Chain A
Amino acid sequence: MQVSIRDLTKIFKERRRETVAVDHFSLEVKSGQLVTLLGSSGCGKTTILRMIAGFESPSSGSIFISGKEMNGLPPNKRPVAMVFQSYALFPHMSVFENVAFGLRVRNVPRKELRERVEKILQKVGLNGKEKRGPNQLSGGEQQRVALARALVVNPEVLLCDEPFSNIDQSLRIKMREEIKRLQKELGLTILFVTHDQEEAFYLSDKIVLIDSGKIIQEGTPKEFYENPKTEFVKDFLGGLKKVNGELVRVVALA
């Protein structure tokens, strides 16, 4: 197992008010799989990712990555890379420097560093824009830089927190396809957070539906269609309908 999460719980205590953000959550992710955490806003998805990345410490339970226990390991020692919802690009660095950041930390020799950065920029379609600053890029391009910056360090797991929620619909669909392609091409293990059912169904090898920090149902997209366990699941998937048949041809309208 690439990622294995056992009985993870997170309780936030704030001025005597307790919020149970994650409630006895367990999950197994195989190498090369893309698993989505799906759920409405506030159900604890971000908190799970942040515990895996080491930004929050679990109240109880444990996280293993490639068999290694993560508890107590600081964020900078963990073999994961995160794509932030807000991109979190370094505003004072060029595209190239943003992507090179993780390699510079690792003291990668100059020549190799240049090659790796250019290769990954090529992959996400940003070659030729190395010298620009983040604020000279469109939203979609910024998101690609964030993705490249995370991928270039060859993480064992890629964590994505609603990476496409800040870009418009048409671009979102394009980015969705792109990440699926990259995952196949590079054999990435991805834990992907979203509140968009469509996105989850398009991308996932496995979907984990969460409500109030608890797992409601998990399985492949197909299993979700064929066997929604509860009314809640049906409601949540309400917008989606399965159409039987075969796509023969697409006719352009307009």
Chain B
Amino acid sequence: MFLFFLFVFFSLFVLFPLGHLFWGFEKPVLDAQIWIPFFNSLKLGAMVSFFATFFGFILALSTTQKKLIGRKFFASMATLPLISPPFVLAIAMILLFGRQGILTQKLFGGHTLFHIYGFWGLTFVEVLAYTPTAYLILKGILEAIPPSLKEASLNLGGGHRYTFLKIVLPLSKQGLLTAFLVVFMESLADFGNPLILSGNFEVLAVKAYMEMTSFYNVNAATFMALMLLFPSLIAFFSQRIFLKKSVVVVSGKAQASSFDWLGKKPRRFLTIFCSLFSCIIILMYGMILIGSLTKVWGLKFELALENFSQVWQLSHKTLFDSIFLAFLSGPVTGLLGMGIAYMVVRKKFLGKRFLEAVTLFAFAIPGTVLGLSYALAFNKPVLGLPILQGSAAIILLLFVVRNIPVGLQAGVAVLNQVDKNIEEAAQNLGAKGWGLFRRVTLPLMAPAFFTGWAYSFVKAITAISAVIFVVSGNWSLVTVDILGLVENGELSYAAALSLILIAIVVLVLLGIKFLVGLVSTRGLGGALRGV
């Protein structure tokens, strides 16, 4: 029954809209111009992934050192960008280095230091925005390396550098590759940052959007979307293959260890790096704070609280829409994810691999591509359903489809821990099927469910790339409003609205954490880390 529902759900809301990309696209665009955004996107993706992976690795090395002073603070800083839409960093960039930027005006006497609109500005911002992704992946990998391996290496005479090169680095190889590929996918799919900062440097995601909304050129838009889809899919599947070959085996039980395998000198280097990184993050978000309190950026640097009342007037409706839809998407995503996880881990049935593949497939589709395909597929009645375009349902559906893979992963992780014996005991006592799942398995999975909820909420409320294709006058989202304000040059308003959004995310995260009794010292990003 549930299986049938899933089958219909995925056919209708993943495969069916994606099919429209192929139908919508009539003939290849043979214009040589078309390849420019393609190669730009790849170049940007490669550059961003390289630096984000590198920085993420250094940060992860640092925060896993027990003796590093301020490691908890650094961990929070390394994950801070996750709780805001990525393009908030682009706004901060303009506030700092733009023509009216504070550094441009105050330090460099009105001369722009370097051109932020283009490849380098974009690279800088995306590196900051996606370093947290790489950090979380690599932190997980580094924590999975048993401390005894590093101790064994030192014990056999290997110095810190030798231990790093021969033990830690080889065992992180898969993680580094995974981080690289995942960030590559995120950069390819990024929409907000290039929309604000790309200047003459055209990238696929923005170009596809422009073709669709400004020129109504469905053929060109779908062609771009397909060009965006394929590198993402390649990155996604190679990452799946690498992950399968993971080698870390833990035998026996690990000794609790407060020993830091790195020596004093490397630790000092790490501290300096983390401090610099934290300073940049604080500077960027500090700019948003100052920007939100300033009357007109660049002209009148004077305190003004009315920005908040102004944007409240303008955007409180979309703000509530955003909160409502994002909050609602949480439990839906969570339940679906858990349900699929339960089927995949515990049940045997025909098409199991297919189900898993399709679910994860949704993760590999760049937001822009999915959004475009929804806009094409649901602007007319489908199977007797009313027209979805412009409704709240289509936004909710996009949120859910995009976040189910995360719900699934959280569910699988927990299910693998939940003792199968408990379930079997319950089964012997007569519980079966749905009853077993609801009364026994689900309560055991509750923590993952709430983590999934928190994660979906944050992901949804900060999302832009997919939903920008399906918002309407009736149902819009705060991220779309912020982008609009930036486009109109209303930077102070944009900053104020971003700040309100960040505050809401923090409040909701703390609320959910409190509810689950998960209140711990894991830092702001902590709620996201369990996934």
Interface residues of A (CB under 8 A from B): 46, 50, 53-56, 74-78, 80-82, 84-92, 101-102, 105-106, 134-135, 139, 142, 149-150, 153, 161, 166
Which residue of B has the minimal Cβ distance to A56? B259
Assembly CA distance A86 to B255 (angstroms): 8
Q: Kindly name the residue among B156, B167, B171 whose own CB sees the greatest number of chain A CB atoms within 10 A.
A: B156
Instruction: Evaluate contact between B259 and A86: CB separation under 8 angstroms.
Output: no
Instruction: Evaluate contact between B157 and A80: CB separation under 8 angstroms.
Output: no
- Write out the residue numbers on chain A whose beta carbons fall within 8 Å of the beta carbon of B258: 56
Instruction: Evaluate contact between B146 and A86: CB separation under 8 angstroms.
Output: yes
Instruction: Evaluate contact between A76 and B254: CB separation under 8 angstroms.
Output: no
Supply 17 further A-B pairs (C-beta < 8 A) apart from A75-B151, A87-B252, A92-B170: A56-B259, A74-B263, A81-B156, A82-B151, A82-B155, A86-B148, A88-B151, A88-B152, A91-B247, A91-B249, A101-B156, A102-B156, A105-B156, A135-B249, A142-B251, A153-B156, A161-B255
Assembly CA distance A89 to B249 (angstroms): 9
- A86-B254, A105-B162 are contacts. A91–B248 as well, Cβ < 8 Å? yes
- Write out the residue numbers on chain B whose beta carbons fall within 8 Å of the beta carbon of A150: 156
How many residue-residue contacts, CB under 8 A, span A and B? Answer: 92
Chain B proximity of A88: nearest CB distance (Å) = 4
Assembly CA distance A166 to B157 (angstroms): 26
Assembly CA distance A150 to B156 (angstroms): 7
B253 within 8 Å of A (CB atoms): yes
Instruction: Evaluate contact between A106 and B157: CB separation under 8 angstroms.
Output: yes
Q: Kindly name the residue among A82, A88, A139 whose own CB sees the greatest number of chain B CB atoms within 10 A.
A: A88
- A92-B171, A92-B247, A105-B162 are contacts. A166–B154 as well, Cβ < 8 Å? no
Which residue of A has the minimal Cβ distance to B150? A88
Instruction: Evaluate contact between A86 and B252: CB separation under 8 angstroms.
Output: yes
Instruction: Evaluate contact between B158 and A105: CB separation under 8 angstroms.
Output: yes
Chain B residues bordering chain A, tally (CB within 8 A): 30
Which residue of A has the minimal Cβ distance to B167? A90
- Write out the residue numbers on chain B whose beta carbons fall within 8 Å of the beta carbon of A101: 153, 156, 158, 166
Assembly CA distance A86 to B256 (angstroms): 12
Chain B proximity of A219: nearest CB distance (Å) = 29
Chain B proximity of A144: nearest CB distance (Å) = 14
Main secondary structure of the interface of B (DSSP, over half): loop
Chain B proximity of A194: nearest CB distance (Å) = 15
Chain A proximity of B509: nearest CB distance (Å) = 25
Which residue of B has the minimal Cβ distance to A133? B247
Instruction: Evaluate contact between B155 and A80: CB separation under 8 angstroms.
Output: yes
B159 within 8 Å of A (CB atoms): yes
- Write out the residue numbers on chain A whose beta carbons fall within 8 Å of the beta carbon of B171: 91-92
Which residue of A has the minimal Cβ distance to B246? A91
Assembly CA distance A84 to B171 (angstroms): 19
- A46-B255, A92-B171, A166-B251 are contacts. A84–B157 as well, Cβ < 8 Å? no
B149 within 8 Å of A (CB atoms): yes
Assembly CA distance A55 to B259 (angstroms): 6
B250 within 8 Å of A (CB atoms): yes
- A90-B149, A90-B167, A92-B170 are contacts. A75–B252 as well, Cβ < 8 Å? no
Instruction: Evaluate contact between B158 and A86: CB separation under 8 angstroms.
Output: no
- A87-B251, A92-B171 are contacts. A82–B152 as well, Cβ < 8 Å? yes
- Write out the residue numbers on chain B whose beta carbons fall within 8 Å of the beta carbon of A74: 154, 263
- A76-B159, A101-B158 are contacts. A86–B251 as well, Cβ < 8 Å? yes
- A46-B255, A56-B259 are contacts. A84–B162 as well, Cβ < 8 Å? no
B257 within 8 Å of A (CB atoms): yes
| Chain B window 254-282, contacts with chain A (Cβ cutoff 8 Å), 1 for yes, 0 for no | 11011100010000000000000000000
Assembly CA distance A238 to B166 (angstroms): 47
- A55-B259, A86-B252, A87-B251 are contacts. A153–B157 as well, Cβ < 8 Å? yes
Assembly CA distance A48 to B211 (angstroms): 70
Chain B proximity of A98: nearest CB distance (Å) = 9
Assembly CA distance A74 to B156 (angstroms): 12
Which residue of B has the minimal Cβ distance to A98? B152
Assembly CA distance A150 to B154 (angstroms): 12
Chain B proximity of A244: nearest CB distance (Å) = 39
- Write out the residue numbers on chain B whose beta carbons fall within 8 Å of the beta carbon of A153: 156-157
- Write out the residue numbers on chain A whose beta carbons fall within 8 Å of the beta carbon of B151: 53, 55, 75, 82, 84, 88
Assembly CA distance A149 to B149 (angstroms): 13
Instruction: Evaluate contact between B252 and A53: CB separation under 8 angstroms.
Output: no
Q: Kindly name the residue among B152, B171, B263 whose own CB sees the greatest number of chain A CB atoms within 10 A.
A: B152
- Write out the residue numbers on chain B whose beta carbons fall within 8 Å of the beta carbon of A56: 258-259
